[in-house]
Structure formats: C-alpha cells, structure tokens
Structure 1
Amino acid sequence: MKAAVWHGAKDIRIEEVDLKPLANDEVTIKVAYAGICGSDLHEYQEGPVLIPTTFPDPLTNEEAPIVLGHEFSGVVEAVGPDVYDFQVGDHVAVNPAITKRESPDDVDVYDGYSFIGLSKDGGLAPYANVSVQNLYHLPQNFSLKAAAIMEPAAVAVQAVKEAGLDFGQTVVIFGAGPIGAMLAEVARTAGASRIVVVDLSEVRLQKAREMGATDTINASQVIDVEQSIAQILPNGADASFEVAGVQETFDQAIAVTKPRGFVVVVSIFPQPIRLDIRQLMNAGVRLATSIAYSRQTFQQTVDLVTSGQLKVEPLITSEIRLNDFFKKGLLPLMDDPSEEKILVNLAKSK
C-alpha cells in the first residue's frame, strides 16, 4: 500500500510499504480520512522533533522511517485475538497518545508519551494497526470526515479544562491557526461570554469568527495589541491561551490576563523563551501548560462532537488525495494562511 513515510527533514516520501503484523490487542483500521498537522510540518521542516531516529521509541519500539498521520478515523477491518470490544465494521476515532498508564489518567501523559504517526506507524496510509486502548467508538451515522478532527479538538478541550473556564467568563486567544480556531469553538461551548482572538492573518481571523470568536484583532493593523484588547475587556481576561508560539504573544498573554486568571500555554515552542517571573508575580496571573489530553478528555471530546455540541467541520478547508500530499497538502500549509485543516481522503488514495 502507498503511505506518507518520514525518512528525515525535507524527506517525506509517498511510497509502497507493508502493513506490520497485527498484534493480539490491535485492530486493523481501514483509514477514511487523515489530517495533516502542524507537527507533521515541523517534522518535515526541521525534524526529527518527536520521531525516534537513533534508537527505537521506548513505548512503541519503532523508529524511523515512520508512516505519518496521528489525526485519523476509519472502519475496523480486522481484529486481533484478544480484542473483544470492537468488531469488523465498527466506526472509530483514534486517540494517538501512547502512555505508560501507570499514573492517574489526568497526569499519566507527564510520565512520558509517544504518538501514533510520530513514534509508530500512523494513518497517512490506507490501513493502520492500532491498539484497542487508543480506539473510541463512533455512531455508525457520524461523519468519518469530522471524526478525523477529533484529535485537535481534544487538544483544545484539554486546554480549556486547564484554565478552569466557567460560564460568562472572558477569553483571549493568541493565534488563529487550527488549534486557536478550535479553542474559540470550545470556549464558546464552555460558556465564555467574550472570546477575543488575535492573529496577523485576516483570513484566519475570519475562520475564528466562524468558529466562535466574538471579537478579533489583526495585530498587523493596530499600534498596541494590549490596548486594543483592553478596549474590549477593560478588566482583563479570565483566561488567555498562547497558541502562536512566540515570545511577544507569550508576554502579551500575561499582560492582558486579570489577577488570578490563567494563562495556558498550548504552543510547542521551537526555541526556549524568556520568562520574567516578576512580571508574572506582579500581575497575579497563574501560568499553566497543556500538552495533549487525558483519555477522559478524549472521550468527552468524542461525546461533545458526535452529539453536535462542538462543531469541528468548519475547521476543514481542503480535502486531497495521498498522491497530492506535497503539492496540495504540505506546501499550502506553509504558504497559504487560508488553509486551516487539510484532510487526506484515504478511501481515494490514488
């Protein structure tokens, strides 16, 4: 079968691969859709970031070359002998996070984690083998296309939970990429009264408005971002989310958050940044970070999305085939700000 395989930085190949043998606790998924994530882009541009290259990953025992794809959905094609909760024909969403599962669910990711599609062959292929521990049932009539957005939605749900957001509170989101736009929708669902999104791209701000933002600020068109936010939220934000991944927006997030409010860092910063602890203390702001999601959060996300309470489909901007992975997938994500989430239709893999 053809798959998108990472061999190294600037070296992702669409090539023929064999599906690895099915383990006893795994199912074979016939992949329907797979999303291209910013993590995939980082692995292409400057990897390896998370992909193991010098020795096998301790949780998956796999190493490069790796089939990419950690945002995907599909239909169960075959089941291993120890699988009892899933059967052929079931529709499933995939939680790609692999953890030791030795600590409570809400913190076990911090004992160490890996990802299907980064440390183990993933879903940018017509078929993928996945442990039942990483699978979630979907209603048979639910869109498999929307189900491929479950993973980034879970990232946003976890981040909002970290902020302890309550009904009627106010939010500022720095960055209107896929996670930032998804955060606007999750914050809306959680009952935020004002949701301000800041970005440099007008087309991305338009998407944020579509996803739930009540107010947007184009940072390229105002003199002072903090002052512009203060005009909307004179008392500051109850919670700010840093999703841009740069020093300036990190500092701004602290500055616009009210005392005892939360700044939640969701970005994976490519380089270390400076933290002025005096600024944080003088502002009375609480700083939190959020990486991935708990298993409970992923199930809650599945429930919210499949019940229609959380909208994910507006995030999808393009659908392509696997052979167009570079031309219509990676390259537009690098150059075209109108692209938020590009899905690869694996049912049409040629």
Structure 2
Amino acid sequence: MKAARFHAQKDLRIEDIPEPALRPGTVKVAVAWCGICGTDLHEFLEGPIFTPAPGHPHPLSTEEAPVTMGHEFSGTIEEIADGVEGLRVGESVVVEPYFVCNECPPCLAGNYNLCTKMGFIGLAGGGGGLSEKVVVDARWVHPVGSIPLDEAALIEPLAVAHHAVVRGGLVAGNFAVVGGAGPIGLLTAAVLKGMGVTTIVTELSQARKDKAISSGVADYVLDPSQDDVTARVLELTNGVGADGAFECAGVNAVLDSMLDVVKPAGVVVNVSIWGRPATVDMQKIVLKEIDLRGTIAYVRDHPAVIKLVQDGKIDLKPFITGRIALDELIDKGFDTLINHNDTAVKILVHP
C-alpha cells in the first residue's frame, strides 16, 4: 500500500509498504481522509521532534524513523480482531491516535494524555493516516455515525480545541478571547461558540479574519495592527475584561495580549506548541491573580466533540479548504501550508 513516510528533516517520501496485519485487540481501518496538522509541518521542517530518531526507537511503538505520518484521520472499519466488542465492520470511525503505557502515575490517575512515555500514532510509529490502511487498538476507535468522513477528519483537532476549552473552565454566557485564527484557533472559537460563550478573535491575516467571520465562530474580530485590543475587549465586556483567553498563535505578543485582556482572576490557556521559549510578564499574572494553564492534546474528549458535531452545534465544513491525493502531499499540501498558510485552514488528503 502507499504511505507518506518521514525519513528525516525535509525528507518525506511516498512509498509502497506492506499492509499492516491485525493483532489481538485491534481494528483495521481503511483511511478515507487525513488532515495535515501544524505538528506535521514542524516535523517536516525541523524534525525529528516527535518522531524517534534513527537509533532511538520509541519506548512503546519500538519504531524509529522512517515512520508513516498522519494523525488526524477518519475511515471505515475493514476488519476486527476476535473478542473486540462494540464496533462493527463498515462503521465510520475516527481514531484517537495515542500510545500510552497504562503504568505511569498520570496513566493510573486517568490522565493518559500526560503519560510519561506518550507518543502519537502517525508521529511516533504505529502506522498513520497518510496511508491506505492502519491497525490500531480498539480502545482508540470512535464511531461517528452519519458525520461525513471528510468532516470527521477534523474531529481530532477539534478534540484538541475542546480539551483546551475544558481546561479554561468557561461556561455559557462568558466572554472569551482567542488569540490567532489558524486552524486550532478557529476550532477553539467553534467549541466556545457551540457552548454559548461570546467569542472575540484577534488576528492579523485578512484571509483568516474573513474565515473567522464567514464560519460564524467569532462574534467579534479584532486586528491588533488596527485596534486597541485591550480597550475594545473592555468596551465589549462593560469594563470587566474577558473571563478567559486562549493563546493559539505561539507568538509572544499574542501571549502578552491575552494576559492584558482577561479580567482579574481570569484564566489564560496556552494552546499552541511553541518553537522557542516564551517570555512571560509575571507581574501581570501576580497583580491580576491570573491562572496561566497549559493544555496538551485531549483526554476523553472525543465522545463530547462527536456529539457537538452530531447535534449541529459545530459545523466543520467551512474549515475544509482543500482536498488532495496522497501523491500531491508535498506540492499541494505541505507547500501551501508552509508558504501560503493564510490561504488554507485544513487540507485533507485522500490516501
């Protein structure tokens, strides 16, 4: 079968590899669509990061580069191992793409997203969605019912956004500021909006500002190059400030702004993965008693996210801006998202 294989920095190849075999407790999924994630781009440009370097196999997958990429994927169950219950052949599903040890203190506490050996399918080994077939533990397979499979490929990044919102502790009627309208920022705003939170999005790119408006996820869009963001948030919140803010850009100026716009005792959630160390104005945190929280991936978020989509509270169609074949991955996928990233939100690949 064909698969996109990461060998080394800027060395990603479409290769023919053997189809994976079913193992006890697993499910074989025929991949329908796989999204290209910002993490995939970082891996391609700067890796290996999450991918195990040659000679250093991942402790759980036991694999090292080259590995098959892709962790945002949907598909159809093709085969089920004996003894696996609750799933059926032909069912539309998404995969929660984890390796976890089930032994470390975070795993035993139920926080498997914080597993000390954690790895992601599609980055740390175990196959990936940028291939025709993948075999995964049944534990990680989630039926999506009638959600179209192209939209279902966005369930994984939507779960990232959902977990960030859960970490923020916001409720219906609150005000939230989302800093950055890239894919995760837009999806974070979508979750907030679906929960009944008033969303204020800050963004410089005209294309991304337009998407925040046209997709319906933003009640207000502010441009930091034109607007006094802090003053406008105070105006919109009757002088109180936002209940929470979400840093989704990995840019220090955005983090600083999120600390400014939240009310005293507000919450700032850092959602983005940073390419370099950030600086934090601790005086702002101290004087306003701000809670600055991290978030990574998701933990038991998929069922809630799937229900939000099934109930019509989140519409994923507006975020799909391209569909390509696996052979077009580099020139129409990675190149577009690296060099023309304001023109695309989510590009899906059909292996």
TM-score, normalising length: structure 2: 0.93
| Aligned match of 1:127 | 133
| Aligned match of 2:28 | 28
> How far has the Cα of 1:37 moved from its partner?
0.4
| Aligned match of 1:42 | 42
Measure the CA separation in 2 of the matches of 1:238 and 1:104. 32
Residues 1:273 and 2:273 aligned together: no
| Aligned match of 1:242 | 247
> How far has the Cα of 1:104 moved from its partner?
5.5
| 5+ residue gaps, structure 1 | none
Pair 12,272 (structure 1): closer, same or farther in 2 beyond 3 Å: same
Letter in 1 for 2:317: E
Measure the CA separation in 1 of the matches of 2:86 and 2:168. 34
Letter in 2 for 1:122: G
Letter in 2 for 1:62: E
| Aligned match of 2:180 | 175
What aligned pairs does 1:262-341 form with structure 2 within 5 A after superposition? 262-294=267-299, 296-336=300-340, 337-341=342-346
Measure the CA separation in 2 of the matches of 1:173 and 1:106. 28
What aligned pairs does 1:84-103 form with structure 2 within 5 A after superposition? 84-102=85-103, 103=107
Pair 268,84 (structure 1): closer, same or farther in 2 beyond 3 Å: same
Q: Which shifted more, 278-287 or 99-108?
A: 99-108
Measure the CA separation in 1 of the matches of 2:309 and 2:102. 25
Letter in 2 for 1:230: L
> How far has the Cα of 1:66 moved from its partner?
0.8
Q: Residue 252 of structure 1 is aligned with which of 233, 251, 257?
A: 257
> How far has the Cα of 1:263 moved from its partner?
0.1
Letter in 1 for 2:134: A
Deviation track 1:28-64 (CA, whole Å, cap 9, x = no partner) reads 1111100000010000111111111132111222221
Measure the CA separation in 2 of the matches of 1:65 and 1:298. 29
| Aligned match of 1:138 | 144
Measure the CA separation in 2 of the matches of 1:106 and 1:206. 40
SS in 2 for 1:180: helix
Q: Which runs of 4+ in 1 moved over 6 A?
A: none
- Superposition RMSD in Å: 1.6
Deviation track 1:227-269 (CA, whole Å, cap 9, x = no partner) reads 3433433321100000000111111111111011110000111
Pair 92,48 (structure 1): closer, same or farther in 2 beyond 3 Å: same
> How far has the Cα of 1:292 moved from its partner?
0.5
Q: Is the 8 A contact 2:20 2:133 kept in 1?
A: no
Q: Is the 8 A contact 1:9 1:45 kept in 2?
A: yes
SS in 1 for 2:122: coil
Q: Is the 8 A contact 1:258 1:284 kept in 2?
A: no
Measure the CA separation in 2 of the matches of 1:55 and 1:297. 31
Measure the CA separation in 2 of the matches of 1:94 and 1:80. 16
Measure the CA separation in 1 of the matches of 2:316 and 2:30. 22
Measure the CA separation in 1 of the matches of 2:224 and 2:165. 23
Letter in 2 for 1:292: A
| Aligned match of 1:114 | 119
Q: Is the 8 A contact 1:180 1:208 kept in 2?
A: no
Pair 149,280 (structure 1): closer, same or farther in 2 beyond 3 Å: same
Q: Is the 8 A contact 2:194 2:308 kept in 1?
A: no
Pair 105,182 (structure 1): closer, same or farther in 2 beyond 3 Å: farther
> How far has the Cα of 1:4 moved from its partner?
0.9
Measure the CA separation in 1 of the matches of 2:297 and 2:349. 22
Measure the CA separation in 2 of the matches of 1:201 and 1:344. 25
SS in 2 for 1:167: coil
Pair 106,153 (structure 1): closer, same or farther in 2 beyond 3 Å: farther
> How far has the Cα of 1:312 moved from its partner?
1.6
Q: Is the 8 A contact 2:34 2:70 kept in 1?
A: yes
TM-score, normalising length: structure 1: 0.93
Measure the CA separation in 2 of the matches of 1:6 and 1:160. 32
Residues 1:57 and 2:63 aligned together: no
